[in-house]
Chains A and B, each alone.
Chain A
Amino acid sequence: MRDDLALISRWIPTGARVLDLGCGDGDLLAHLQDDRQVNGYGLEIDQDNIAACFAKGVNVIEQDLDKGLGNFQSDRFDYVVMTQALQAVLRPDSILDEMLRVGREAIITFPNFGHWRVRSYLGFKGRMPVSSALPYEWYDTPNIHLCTVKDFEAHCRERDIRIIERQVVNRHHRSGRLTRAWPNLFGEIAIYRVTL
């Protein structure tokens, strides 16, 4: 399992009701189902991923996140998870609101655009950053709403969203002295657990 998924799964207790937005091939939910007996559903649009979820016995619903979560009733879930997709949706602010409407807590991960390597790429090269975490060119990137750790936290403050837990890690999904002291400079992936 991807390291960030392993980190997230530690935050989800046994028997929780989980909605995973952009669940990919269903690894996280499969793990949570087997290990924590969660009642989970994934949303996904890629049909290869959907077939992979079927094969794993993971509940998956073909649904485009950009069309919202209007089909789910308020407070239906304990946790709504979205890993590495916040930056790819049309309106990250709306989806965040929706996540906190249908779920008690939201767990979100995104690539930190404030990382020093990204800053220096743009600063010194004067070109849009391309890296292992952000491997696309400016014209074909699905990442249309990149943000930094500071941006995200400012947004949470504006919307009265409470940050329960934060893990900012390097590309190996480890946190160290640097990522703890200067998360917006040394963190490559930001992982948040938030609530209203």
Chain B
Amino acid sequence: MPETIPQDSVGLVQPQTLHVDQPLELECGRVLPSYDLVYETYGTLNADASNAVLICHALSGHHHAAGYHSADDPRPGWWDSCIGPGKPIDTDRFFVVCPNNLGGCHGSSGPGSQNPETGQLWGPDFPMMTVKDWVKSQAQLADALGIQRWAAVVGGSLGGMQALQWSMDFPDRLANAVVIAAAPKLSAQNIAFNEVARQSILTDPNFHGGRYYLHDTYPRQGLILARMVGHITYLSDDAMRMKFGRDLRSGRFHFGFDVEFQVESYLRHQGETFSRNFDANTYLLMTKALDYFDPARECDGTLEDALADTRCNFLVMSFNSDWRFSPERSREIVNALVQVGRNVSYAEIDTPKGHDAFLLPIPEYRKLFGAYMGRVAEATSNA
């Protein structure tokens, strides 16, 4: 944590856990008999519970979206740039809820937690989760918190897909869906990158069919590779050029395979940090959830058909240098929503930062996001 907590931070926060004893029927056909959801909240729920905002996290995210866990915390939550007093998701006005998704590795039930039926760790036997399943579990959390209707469900990337899924599965339970840097489904190229990441984990000798816990090891190298390839797709060519160029660590070539270029050093560092903090089975599961997301297929029709029964207002935002989920993909969502007559707004932020831009404090982005959320807050207090 910095010397003093910044004025615009939510400050020290503590995760909470909801235990759900109600079985969760999953899209894959299996049933999760009971489960834990770990989550954080920021701000205060108003008397009629109309100011609640749900934050859905992305592939490697978790429940710690803003603030600090302790005085020694080196970094705030992953979306601290957008959540806090006076920030786009203003915690002086909203009650913000951010859960860790099922299948995750930060406290919610997942491959690394205990199967209540066997007393063993789930490991690779944890059921495959989909975006639809997550949304269903998040609705259970809403019930437990006494939130009948979210003022907004907000997410970037895979989180944006959850916001979109909310609008289709629980049309009366949200007033706004904010879908940032997302897509209506993955392209073949997207799936291909995910498959490279998965193969690097699956073929790591330390993977042991996902039961690496029993061998007191984990597929470190596989996770590093998976994260390295993922990370390349989160940045843009320009962003990498600006950040690293062809800079050499020691200023000269060594004619070997050790780290020479700064970009190599950076990727290895990112991969190593990630491999220490993330579970391989979770990574496999989350990338599959991304691959499976396809609301049009689910309703056996077009995206317009899938969105036909939505009721909420939509804000869609994209970033012009994002090639992982390019602006064209966001516009597909916008066009479908216009076609079915839904209230929808769209902005494309000019930045060289690539897909990761949705996490960054980019002034234009924050201004537009804040303007929209300000309107959401007004509608809430007038309701």
Contact = CB atoms under 8 A, between A and B. Distances in A.
B368 A71 contact: no
B70 interface: no
Interface string A36-61: 00010100000100111111111111
A141 interface: no
B345 A60 contact: yes
Contacts of B338: 41, 61, 71-72, 76
A62 interface: yes
A55 B344 contact: no
Nearest to B314: A59
B46 interface: no
Given A47-B364, A47-B368, A54-B371, A59 B339 contact: no
A54 B341 contact: no
B339 A54 contact: no
A62 B379 contact: no
B98 interface: no
Nearest to B372: A54
B78 interface: no
Interface string B359-383: 0000010011001101100010000
A73 B331 CA distance: 14
B292 interface: no
A50 B345 CA distance: 9
Nearest to A56: B375
Contacts, number: 53
Interface residues of A, number: 22
Nearest to A48: B367
Contacts of A55: 371, 374-375
Given A72-B338, A76-B339, A59 B344 contact: yes
Nearest to B334: A61
Interface residues of B, number: 21
B335 interface: yes
A104 interface: no
A196 B187 CA distance: 39
A3 to B, nearest CB: 27
A174 interface: no
A50 B335 CA distance: 17
Contacts of A62: 346-348
Contact of B375 (A39, A57, A63): A57
Interface string A74-88: 001000000000000
A61 B344 contact: yes
A60 B346 CA distance: 6
A47 B344 CA distance: 16
Nearest to A51: B371
Contacts of A57: 375, 379
A71 B331 contact: yes
A31 interface: no
A57 to B, nearest CB: 5
Contacts of B375: 54-57
A55 B343 CA distance: 14
A72 B335 contact: yes
B292 to A, nearest CB: 27
A62 B344 CA distance: 11
Contacts of B341: 17, 39
Contacts of B364: 47
B345 A59 contact: yes
A17 B341 CA distance: 9
A72 B367 CA distance: 28
14 contacts: A41-B338, A47-B367, A50-B345, A50-B347, A51-B368, A55-B374, A58-B345, A60-B345, A61-B345, A62-B346, A62-B347, A62-B348, A71-B331, A71-B335
| Shortest 10 CB-CB contacts between residues of A and residues of B | A54-B371, A51-B371, A54-B372, A61-B346, A71-B335, A55-B371, A62-B347, A62-B348, A60-B345, A57-B375
Given A47-B367, A50-B347, A72-B335, 17 more contacts: A39-B341, A47-B364, A47-B368, A50-B345, A50-B368, A52-B371, A54-B315, A54-B345, A54-B371, A55-B371, A55-B375, A56-B375, A59-B345, A61-B334, A61-B338, A61-B344, A71-B335
